Amino acid sequence: MTKLISNNKKVYHDFFVIETYEAGIVLTGTEIKSLRLGNCSISGSLCKIFNMEVFVYGMNISHYEKGNIFNVDSMRSRKLLLHKSEIKKLYGTLQEKGYTLIPIKVYFKDGLVKLEIALCKGKKNYDKREDLKKKNIKRNLERNFKGSSIKV
């Protein structure tokens, strides 16, 4: 059973999502308690590979209000747990121009915090306009055929 904590919908508008991976995160106790309350934001965050280890930067987990001296910096970099073969594959792909790793969502899965990261390639403005056109056309068709039995 999964419980969604935070979501980054803007990724699908700004990037082509090539492939997704599920990674665990190394966290402290007060960060887990803060996540259980839903205090997390991944907008504007990204992942980088350093010494064949993957880290997430810019992920904000707010301070746990009862955590006092055990609270850590809310914007610190956090290590992600992936298989060595996945890291090697990602490292090779990231060496090519235009690819980046971006977090898509944070969720609980069987009591553990997981981060879904995506290998993405940036969209140009004309690609974004094409997506908006397709979305508007689909919305208009659904609106016109709402009462009829025709499915779009």
Question: 124: pLDDT confidence band, cut at 50, 70 and 90?
Answer: confident
pLDDT digits (tens, 9 = 90+) for 66-109: 878 878 888 899 999 999 999 999 999 998 888 999 999 999 99
Residue 45 reports pLDDT greater than 80: yes
Residue 139 reports pLDDT greater than 80: yes
Query: Residue 64 in contact with residue 34, Cβ under 8 Å?
Result: yes
What residue ranges define each of the domains in the chain, with the CATH number in brackets? 2-123 (2.40.280.10)
- The CA distance from 9 to 43, in Å, is 9
Question: 152: pLDDT confidence band, cut at 50, 70 and 90?
Answer: low
* Mean pLDDT of the chain, nearest integer: 88
The position carrying tokens 């308690």 is 33
